[in-house]
Amino acid sequence: MNQYRNALLFSFSIFMGSSAANAQEDAAKLVAPGAILQQVSKQFKFTEGPAVDKKGNIYFTDQPNDKIWKYDTEGNLSLYMEKTGRSNGLYIDKKGNIISCADEKNEMWSISPKGKTTVLVDGFQGRTFNGPNDLWIHPKGGIYFTDPFYPRDYWERKKPDMEKQNVYFLPKGKKEPVLVDDNLKQPNGIVGTPDGKYLYVADIRDNKTYKYGINADGTLSNRQLFVAQGSDGITLDNLGNLYITGRGVTVYDPTGKKITNILVPSGWVGNVCFGGKDRNLLFITASESIYTLQMQVKGVE
């Protein structure tokens, strides 16, 4: 195991009640043997919102430049779309549409494979959203999304239309979202379990990440503090480990125990997802750069 891989696996890690040997074993189960972090490109202004399609291709945003890029399963990088409504977080539905948090006009978009855009929702009870930021689609088709307030220089308004920064659920086929949590300071990253039973939401300003139960009607219940760490973007692997971004990528097991922190040299990490033909390529959006890391675990998007 080389020095860089040692640093990758064990940097900033805290293991409560675990021996160093157990810590090494836990971290080594995640990353593929011999794998190191690879910088794919550093040509962007601020990368965000990675999402994977059914083939394993990854789409992500360069939000300040109003572009969506594609990183395919062969490792090719190409510009996919311009004039994206200042898309931020993305997710791809079962029909191949890119569902986008388009905060230029504070909307949720659906972008078809042919590039046709449809506004799904643009506000709550007659008031303008703060700026939809990140989303997750439930297996039954409903959309959960966060709505923090991050002032943009391209907005005319200088203050939010709503006092609180909330989490919403848009039922499948509906045009009016449901408020599912209004007791967060600044919700940001969001992801759910593949069985549709649980939802994780990161409150980045309060430096906390919560776990909820998802009820049959899409509402949330039994909010519990999962870890005392906030996040910009989050994802899950097939072992139920949660990946939290910010200063690198921090990985927690399903009980909330910290496994490791993956160092990323380009400063702030905005978001992360799994892609590739076998869903075992960790794709990291980090400010002006994008990175990949070959993993032993797989994504569940």
How distant, in Å, are the alpha carbons of 151, 160, 178, 260, 273 from that of 85? 15, 19, 23, 36, 22
Q: Would you say residue 279 lies in a domain?
A: yes
Global pTM value:
0.91
- Amino acid, single-letter form, for residue 287: S
Distance of CA 209 to the CA centre of its chain: 13
Q: Would you say residue 301 lies in a domain?
A: no
Which pLDDT tens digit goes with each residue over 250-267? 999 999 999 999 999 977
The torsion region of residue 221 among left (phi > 0), alpha (psi -120 to 50) and beta comes to beta
Q: Would you say residue 300 lies in a domain?
A: no
Confidence of residue 24 (pLDDT cuts 50, 70, 90): low
Residue 12 clears pLDDT 60, i.e. is over it: no
Confidence of residue 294 (pLDDT cuts 50, 70, 90): very high
Q: Is 150 helix (H, G, I), strand (E, B) or coil?
A: coil
Report CA torsion sign: 228, 229, 234, 240: negative
Residue 1 clears pLDDT 60, i.e. is over it: no
Q: Would you say residue 299 lies in a domain?
A: no
The torsion region of residue 246 among left (phi > 0), alpha (psi -120 to 50) and beta comes to left
Question: Which range marks the domain in which residue 170 is found?
Answer: 3-294
Q: Would you say residue 194 lies in a domain?
A: yes
With beta carbons less than 8 A apart as the criterion, state whether 254 and 238 touch: no
Mean pLDDT of 5-34: 57
Domain count of the fold of the chain: 1
Q: Give the tokens for residue 141.
A: 């088709």
Q: Is 6 helix (H, G, I), strand (E, B) or coil?
A: helix
Q: Give the tokens for residue 12.
A: 């900033």
Pairing type for strands 127-128 and 271-275 reads unpaired
How distant, in Å, are the alpha carbons of 145, 148, 190, 231, 241 from that of 130? 12, 6, 16, 18, 30
- For the chain, the first-to-last Cα distance in angstroms comes to 30
Which pLDDT tens digit goes with each residue over 89-107? 999 999 999 999 999 999 9
Confidence of residue 154 (pLDDT cuts 50, 70, 90): confident
With beta carbons less than 8 A apart as the criterion, state whether 124 and 165 touch: no
Q: Would you say residue 36 lies in a domain?
A: yes
- Kindly give, in sequence order, each residue whose CB lies less than 8 Å from that of residue 11, ignoring residues fewer than 6 positions away: 248, 260, 261, 262, 263
With beta carbons less than 8 A apart as the criterion, state whether 56 and 50 touch: no
Mean pLDDT of 219-245: 97
CATH no. for residue 179?
2.120.10.30
Q: Determine phi and psi for 168, rounding to 5 degrees.
A: -125, 160
With beta carbons less than 8 A apart as the criterion, state whether 145 and 101 touch: yes
Q: What pLDDT does residue 27 have?
A: 73
Residue 149 clears pLDDT 80, i.e. is over it: yes
How distant, in Å, are the alpha carbons of 89, 191, 224 from that of 199? 17, 6, 11
Pairing type for strands 248-252 and 135-137 reads unpaired
Short-list 171, 170, 165, 169, CA closest to 188: 165
Which residues sit opposite 100 in a β-bridge? 90, 109
Q: Would you say residue 49 lies in a domain?
A: yes
Neighbours of 69 (CB within 10 A): 22
How distant, in Å, are the alpha carbons of 77, 207, 249, 254 from that of 246? 24, 11, 7, 20
Mean pLDDT of 64-79: 97
Which pLDDT tens digit goes with each residue over 169-226? 999 999 999 999 999 999 999 999 999 999 999 999 999 999 999 999 999 999 999 9
Least confident of 22-26, 141-145, 166-170: 22-26
Torsion of CA 269, 273, 275, 278, to 10 degrees: 120
In residues, how long is the chain? Answer: 301
Short-list 31, 154, 148, 18, CA closest to 83: 154
